[in-house]
Amino acid sequence: TPAKEGKMFLKALFDYDPYEDKAIPCKEAGLSFKRGEILQIVSQDDATWWQAKHEGDANPRAGLIPSKHFQERRLALRRPEILVQPLKVPNRKSSGFRRSFRLSRKDKKTNKSMYECKKSDQYDTADIPTYEEVTPYRRQTHEKYRLVVLVGPVGVGLNELKRKLLISDTQHYGVTVPHTTRPRRSQESDGVEYIFISKHLFETDVQNNKFIEYGEYKNNYYGTSIDSVRSVLAKNKVCLLDVQPHTVKHLRTLEFKPYVIFIKPPSIERLRETRKNAKIISSRDDQGAAKPFTEEDFQEMIKSAQIMENQYGHLFDKIIVNDDLTVAFNELKMTFDKLETDTHWVPVSWLH
């Protein structure tokens, strides 16, 4: 088996401290780890306790970690509600505008069966983040760039960062052109500001799952299609996409190999200090009417970031704290440079 040969690597999707674990037979024998760390699996012989080391750790001694099955089972038993109700993240664009990606049939079924078999101890564990098998991946020069997904709460500065990155190299970075059903304005051209389509076609496209996200605004639909991402990548550009974090799981495919960056606010004290004279643009239609940040905006931003991190943190490849914009931008730029040159851990399913 790959584990026996020491060739199995798992990305931890949760934090683990054996000293907090009542079930572990011997706390000293446990291996502690943090979400996002890569573990090399040494043995899976025991159904409940696997043996693992931190990847790259020269120390040959392995420690005990809960097996995937065991961890899933006890989490499901302890917190069945996490399986059933995804937490609502406050809308990052305009309120009530962005609608969630349609639940796929499988999701619906999964949720339903989870409701139904609460008592029977048979959970569908697909949505419990435990471990993900990963493998090293380095982009070859002939390959398309990976999709880069930026997520973060309203007002955190994600759009400024995106804009700065775009203008830093317009040949290299690209963004998607959204679809809309509203009439084209005279100064606009089809395919530039928007791709203009009929309501009927938009609805058909929604039915056929052509959109990553879409919403309704003043009786018109707007949305980002999967094909619009493809066309940026086809131009041999790095595609920058900002979406709600719940859409990320639909994008995690071999084709896009998304790299997910979470833009995180600093502490509330730092927000007060650094954003005192700044303005918040809460949605694209507020562009002309940016308002100064209020204390509530800061609190909302922190709360929303916490919810995102708790619920979707296992999907984040990188977290960048936007305290000072210039510092955050440099970190972002460095992250992009590394993404193109370095080896990264990706799900094994992306390589075939």
228 lines the binding site for ligand 5GP (CB under 6 A): no
Instruction: In angstroms, give the least distance from the CB of 178 to ligand 5GP.
Output: 3
Nearer to ligand 5GP, 44 or 159 (CB): 159
Q: What share of the chain is helix, strand, coil (3-state, %, to 5)?
A: 35, 25, 40
Of 17, 143, 203, 285, which one interacts with ligand 5GP (CB under 6 A)? 285
215 lines the binding site for ligand 5GP (CB under 6 A): yes
Which stretches within the chain are classed as H helix? 68-78, 81-84, 105-116, 158-168, 199-207, 226-234, 248-251, 268-274, 295-312, 325-341
Q: How far apart are CA 208 and CA 270, in angstroms?
A: 45
DSSP summary character for residue 190: B
Instruction: In angstroms, give the least distance from the CB of 285 to ligand 5GP.
Output: 3
Closest residue by Cα to residue 322 from 206, 161, 185, 182: 161
Of 213, 242, 297, 309, which one interacts with ligand 5GP (CB under 6 A)? 213
Phi-psi region of 219 (alpha: psi -120 to 50; beta: other; left: phi over 0): left
Interacting span for ligand 5GP (CB under 6 A) from 18-26, 68-76, 217-225, 299-307: 217-225
217 lines the binding site for ligand 5GP (CB under 6 A): yes
Instruction: In angstroms, give the least distance from the CB of 222 to ligand 5GP.
Output: 3
Nearer to ligand 5GP, 72 or 242 (CB): 242
Q: What are phi and psi of 344, to 5 degrees?
A: -125, 155
Query: What distances in angstroms separate CA 342 from CA 262, 316, 335, 338, 339, one per listed residue?
Result: 19, 17, 10, 5, 6
91 lines the binding site for ligand 5GP (CB under 6 A): no
Q: Which residue has the tokens 């309501």?
A: 199
Show the binding pattern over residues 169-198: x = contacts ligand 5GP (CB under 6 A), - = does not. Answer: ---------x---x----------------
231 lines the binding site for ligand 5GP (CB under 6 A): no
Instruction: In angstroms, give the least distance from the CB of 183 to ligand 5GP.
Output: 10
DSSP reduced 3-state for 213: strand
Instruction: In angstroms, give the least distance from the CB of 187 to ligand 5GP.
Output: 11
Q: How far apart are CA 85 and CA 307, in angstroms?
A: 13
155 lines the binding site for ligand 5GP (CB under 6 A): no
Nearer to ligand 5GP, 66 or 157 (CB): 157
Instruction: In angstroms, give the least distance from the CB of 206 to ligand 5GP.
Output: 12
Of 51, 125, 130, 224, which one interacts with ligand 5GP (CB under 6 A)? 224
Show the binding pattern over residues 39-68: x = contacts ligand 5GP (CB under 6 A), - = does not. Answer: ------------------------------
Judge whether 8 and 41 are in contact, CB under 8 Å. yes
* Cα atoms in the Cβ-side hemisphere of radius 13 Å centred on 65: 29
For residue 122, count other CB atoms closer than 10 A to its CB: 13
Handedness of CA 264, 270, 271, 277 (dihedral sign): negative
Nearer to ligand 5GP, 123 or 222 (CB): 222
What is the contact surface with ligand 5GP in residues (CB under 6 A)? 93-94, 98, 178, 182, 213-215, 217, 222-224, 283-285
